[in-house]
Structure 1
Amino acid sequence: MAAAGGPDLLFGLRNNFYLGAYQAAINNSEIPNLSHDEIVERDSLVYRSYIALGSYQLVINEIDSSAATPLQAVKLLALYLSGPENKEAAISSLNEWLGDPAIGNNPILRLIAGIIFTHEQDYNEALKHTNAGGTMELHALNVQIFLKMHRSDYAEKQLRVMQGIDEDHTLTQLANAWLNLSVGGSKIQEAYLIFQDFSEKSQVTSLILNGKAVCCMHKGEFDEAETLLLEALNKDAKDPETLANLIVCSLHLGKASTRYLSQLKLSHPDHVLVKRASTGEESFDRAVQTVA
């Protein structure tokens, strides 16, 4: 965070990261006059941007054992995401560090714990480490976790906390849009306007385009959603949410979705939609065998 009364030198970098402009975050990370703590935060955001772009090995190679705790935590996330063979080791190290009184309460370590346990769909374990909050990112992750648990009432309480801290914060606005999408009905248009506002003020990213597209799908505007998603695909051909949303959109438009599903299987075999499709295929095969 910025020193009291001083300019927030990392504001632009944080915003790029929050809105999914990962390459812009990396490209614009050479910021002069940073304090030691700001350098650690800057490096954490840059490495997390590389992780978001799938460059796990770069992060694993560049962060050595002498790096600060937040960077070690980010390296663990890269290790966890780098392949199924590394997940167990990453979770084991994570649990060890969380149990260490000297570093266990570090906000970035708790955030990474929340992200990893959310990936594991162990939401209660994730909340153990994130629920106390302390940073806007932790509050925003809490909102996501509660929405995944279908507890929009708890998500709304977290959003109120964020609004009390900074109503105009990018993460507060994003959390508001996520909650509106979850609630549905008349709130969908409010969510759309938040994403539209971001697209007018910021670099248009896959994250923003997907947000607008999901709002359009909720409103039954599948042609408009498809246009937005194809624009997102041009920006990042491997983005899992873009591919997943295109599969859903194509099905509603009566178009073939097999190519998008194949791409998703190749680039993100653990994605929930891939798992559902595999389960569906297995059930279908079993049903065919019973009547064959």
Structure 2
Amino acid sequence: MADGALFPVANALAIGAYQQAVNEAQTLMGLSETEATERDALMYRAYIAMGSPKVVLDEVTDGAPMALQAVKLLARYVNSNGAESDAILATITEWLADPACSTNPTVLLMAATIYAREGNYNEALKCSHVGTTLDLMAMSVQMFLQLDRVDFAEKQLRAMSQLDDDATLTQLATAWVNVRLGANKIQEAYYVYSELGEKFSWTARLYAGCAACQMHMGRFEEAERDLLEALSKDAKDSDALANLIACAMHLGKPTARHVTQLTSVDPNHPALLRMKSLEDSFARASAASVA
């Protein structure tokens, strides 16, 4: 996570304040060439997160620094909705075989991000685990949790804390791990999200984090309120919509509208895929029983 002049941009990106990250980036002038590249990489990552990958594709030229080329590759992946996966993964393989690219933190982070979106958590971890930046370490925490290795996630979190215990990414990673640990750690995770919201600004990501904690604690009405706040910040937040469906089910409320919204925003969201799988299984079982 960036320090100094770039901190406002990196921090806004970390908490999910994407437009703020773009705005902060556009006010930063007089930077060194290295800082300017890092600023642009952060800004373009924010554009992708806002659902505007075409901005990146239009503005990043073929002669841009490697870090920006890596962000452009992610934009290409997102813009194609995975349709260019084979070509993009081939490019990543080529880059990672090149010593000049394979040590670039942004290249590693973008490669890990694309692998994670592909559901290839092992390859994502290979990319992120060799890095020493907070961004890469936070990605490793996420991948360890995806692989159900909470023990390794805790170990990586300790390394982040030793590097910068107060960093926003370290605090977020603490919340992720605590949610997975459960029990009284859930309340601690809730406090992390709440404190970040109060300290900086409330975003869809932070409200959704609070809601996830509320759901784990069985507080579905409170979770629903937090999720509605999240959607007021970002009506296309797919995870908030997915969790709102779960909340509605627990509260005995209709889910059709939320399912329609999620289908429109992210038709390949894991929650929808699970629902489709369950529906198909039920249909097969019903057909078998009739036969």
Q: Cα deviation per residue 1:188-243 (whole Å; 9 max; x = unaligned)? A: 11111111111111110001101111111111111111111001111111111111
- Selected match of 2:13 from 14, 17, 29: 17
Q: Distance in 2 between matches of 1:263 and 1:91?
A: 30
2:223 maps to which residue?
225
Q: Cα deviation per residue 1:120-147 (whole Å; 9 max; x = unaligned)? A: 2212211221112220000000000001
Q: Distance in 2 between matches of 1:220 and 1:127?
A: 32
Q: Distance in 1 between matches of 2:130 and 2:53?
A: 29
**Aligned-pair RMSD on alpha carbons?**
1.3
Contact 1:80 1:91 in 2 (8 A): no
Answering whether residue 42 of structure 2 is matched by residue 32 of structure 1, we say: no
1:267 maps to which residue?
265
Q: Aligned letter for 1:38?
A: E
Higher relative contact order (CA 8 A, sep 6+): 2
Q: Aligned letter for 2:37?
A: V
Q: Distance in 2 between matches of 1:288 and 1:61?
A: 51
2:202 maps to which residue?
204
Q: Distance in 1 between matches of 2:219 and 2:126?
A: 39
Query: Among the aligned pairs, what percent are the same residue?
Result: 47
2:247 maps to which residue?
249
Structure 1 residue runs without a partner (length 5+): none
Contact 1:79 1:87 in 2 (8 A): no
- Selected match of 1:146 from 144, 147, 151: 144
1:111 maps to which residue?
109
- Selected match of 1:238 from 232, 236, 239: 236
User: How far apart are 1:287 and its partner, in Å?
Assistant: 2.1
5 Å-filtered alignment, 1:1-292, equals 8-29=4-25, 30-82=27-79, 83-292=81-290
SS of structure 1 residue aligned to 2:93: helix
Q: Distance in 1 between matches of 2:139 and 2:120?
A: 14
Structure 2 residue runs without a partner (length 5+): none
Q: Cα deviation per residue 1:120-179 (whole Å; 9 max; x = unaligned)? A: 221221122111222000000000000111111000000000010111011110000100
**TM-score with structure 2 length normalisation?**
0.96
